[in-house]
Amino acid sequence: MIESSGCRRRRLAARPSFSVDVCDCGAVHLTVGYTTMRLDEGAFREMAAMLSEALSEMPEPRSQRLH
Ligand SMILES: [Zn+2]
């Protein structure tokens, strides 16, 4: 992925340990702790959809079960 030093990033979302920025060259910067992954937009969308799918398949935590 080509990224020049002149790239400008725009923050899309952030949490204390995570952030997502999009660069004007099209790269998405996903920061998890001390690691930053650079993905193209298509890969990022695919990953987001996959995480959403994984979340929907995940068993509920015991502490949140009502019965
Ligand atoms: Zn860039």
Q: Which H or E run includes 21?
A: strand 18-23
Residues with a beta carbon under 5 angstroms from ion ligand 1: 3, 7, 23, 25, 27
User: How much is the pLDDT for 7?
Assistant: 84
In this structure, the chain runs to a length of 67
* Amino acid (one-letter) located at 34: Y
Confidence tier at 61 by pLDDT (50, 70, 90): confident
22 alpha carbon to ligand 1 midpoint, in Å?
A: 8
Ligand 1 centre to CA of 51 (Å) is 24
Range 18-44 average pLDDT? 95
Q: 37-60: per-residue pLDDT in tens?
A: 999 999 999 999 999 999 999 998
From 29, 27, 37, 36, select the one nearest 2 (Cα to Cα).
Answer: 27
